[in-house]
Amino acid sequence: MINAKMKSMFFDREGVMDKVDAGTRKWMSRFGSFVRTRSRQSIRKRKASAPPGSPPSSHTGKLKSSIYFGYDQDLRTVTIGPIVAEGTTGEGADLLENGGTTTIIRRGKRVRAKCRGNPM
């Protein structure tokens, strides 16, 4: 009798776990939405590059509109960041985060460009 009462007090019951999962999904989605919105608001559209440690500049406005978030139910994590646009390699987001060099075409000529990257 006591054993049955003790068993019903633990949080491993299906109903309790479903409520916990629903609450986790709700709050993680709110967190992802908040961070996505703040990330989009912090990106300025300007011609100059951003100084190290500050949010990146968006020269065309595409970076700002490509930031999304997703919730992974299996891992119970949220991933927030830019997606790779169709017809691109996704190299730009990696260069903004880590720095490096790339070749770009400017006015019909190939030019080497350097990105400083994130100092953290």
- DSSP letters, 55-118, are PPB-SSSHHHHTEEEEEETTTTEEEEEEPPPTTS-SHHHHHHHH-EEEEEEETTEEEEEEE---
Query: What does the pLDDT average to over 21-29?
Result: 87
Q: What is the mean pLDDT of the chain?
A: 77
Query: What does the pLDDT average to over 91-114?
Result: 74
Backbone dihedral region of 53: left (phi > 0), alpha (psi from -120 to 50 degrees) or beta?
Answer: left
Instruction: Kindly tell me if the per-residue pLDDT of 5 is higher than 70.
Output: no
48 or 37: which carries more pLDDT confidence? Answer: 37
Query: What does the pLDDT average to over 18-24?
Result: 80
| Boundaries of every domain in the chain | 2-86
What's the pLDDT score for residue 66? Answer: 83
70 or 94: which carries more pLDDT confidence? Answer: 70
What's the pLDDT score for residue 38? Answer: 93
Instruction: Pick the range with the lowest mean pLDDT from 3-12, 67-76, 98-107, 110-119.
Output: 3-12
